[in-house]
Amino acid sequence: MSALGKMKTALNKTDPQIYNFVKAEEKRLKDVLEIIPSENYISQAVKEALGSALNIKYSEGYPKKRYYQGNEVVDNVEILAQERAKKLFGVPHANVQPYSGSPANTAVYLALLEPLKDKIMGMGLGAGGHLTHGSPVSISGKYFPTAPYHLGKDGRIDYDELEKIAMKEKPKIIVCGGTAIPRIIDFKRFGEIADKVGAYLLADISHITGLIIAGVHPDPVAYVHVIMTTTHKTLRGPRGAILMVTEKGLAKDPQLADKIDKAVFPGLQGGPHDNQTAAIAVALLEASKPSFKKYGAQIVKNCKKLAEELIGYGFNLVSGGTDNHLILIDLSNKKVNGAIAALALEVAGIVTNKNAVPNDPMPPFYPSGLRIGTPAVTSRGMKEGEMIKVAKWINIVIEEVRGNELPVDKEKRSQFWREFKNRIVRNKKLLAIASEVKTFCSKFPLP
């Protein structure tokens, strides 16, 4: 029996409830189409690193400068992860300790900004930015003044307008990147604007890291000062993050790497999760292989094909399509709310996430759009032909719930939502699609 098999047996004996939940989640992942663009599958090698003895050690500090004894092996693991990140991204400095993307972005602000004084300029949340890019409900918007930028009428970044805002607001840091941006990001233009106003430029490439490595999205390294990426999206690693300082960053501020490191520890975190660091190292090694470039290219091919098919069914895609792994659908013309659509699709075995669209009149919990993407289904080996089937199923589901618009009144909306949930989980047409999806997915095993 494998080590993993022994661990599962031990878990079953010790805590059968959690064991059964784990098995249920494994089955769910196997049986559904996972098209949330921020989710992906990890390899067996990454799983083994996560479940290894590296869970045990406390290693506050950095390699060769720890506050606990017994870190010789952990030092080697972290140094290896750092070196692999620096080589893969072509940067002089990498910090692999951040627990996830939100604290990583916060560490950059802690390192470079004075609270309540220095300004952050990031994409507005409703336009596709992230909470940590200056949203007022996030620490980034509560502790720092913000100057958000938005999208033009075509659903793309208006760089001329962005420059005007930057010239007026004089931010200390500009953030490029986001969570619902279906188009190529012009890092060169961002760099020119940041240089013009003397701002630091932070590239949050969490969503597109794998595409950059694969060469199917422009690389930010030459134009930005700091790069943050999570490690569990298109990179196919564990949940975690990496902060990197570029040559341009060090030229602007020779102490930049040291400031970033001190902001991560002791500024925001205690001891790093060494099992996570090891799993990140494994994912970086996997991403350095030629097969990963093919994978990244296929993600984009699949997403463009899925977008093309959806447009053929009359769906309104923000910006009119996609250049990357992600599609943002405005469902307003389909007379159905994004929350309604996401739930109905889940009943049909298709997992998406409801998402706000630009200038969305609906509240965040009941937004007008859907966010979908192709990283996970591409990991299962699906290609353009399969995207035709996926689009067809999506269209059938949306047509089935068309006209289910949520009431504007909050109390009526809550009642409508409860009644809809009770009704939709028994919908025979959707359950029949779920059965088809399950059979379909059985032909594409999980990695």
- In whole angstroms, give the CA distance from residue 277 to residue 258: 20
Tokens for 393?
A: 């199923």
Task: Write the secondary structure of 21-38 as one string of H (helix), E (strand) and C (coil).
Answer: HHHHHHHHHHHCEECCCC
Residue type, 210: G
Tokens 């028994």 locate to 426
Residue 335 to residue 398: CA distance in whole angstroms:
9
CA angle 440, 441, 444 (to 5 degrees): 110
Among residues 330, 354, 341, 443, the alpha carbon closest in space to that of 396 is found at: 341
Report the DSSP pairing between strands 369-373 and 353-355: antiparallel
> Under 8 Å CB-to-CB from 393, ≥6 apart: which residues?
33, 348, 350, 433, 436, 437
DSSP letter assigned to residue 117: T
Alpha carbons within 13 angstroms on the beta-carbon side of residue 139 total 12
Neighbours of 41 (CB within 10 A): 17
DSSP 310-336: HHHTT-EEGGGS-SSSEEEEE-GGGT-
* Residues involved in catalysis: 58, 60, 204, 230, 233, 239
Tell which residue, 422, 64, 55, has the closest CA to residue 272: 55
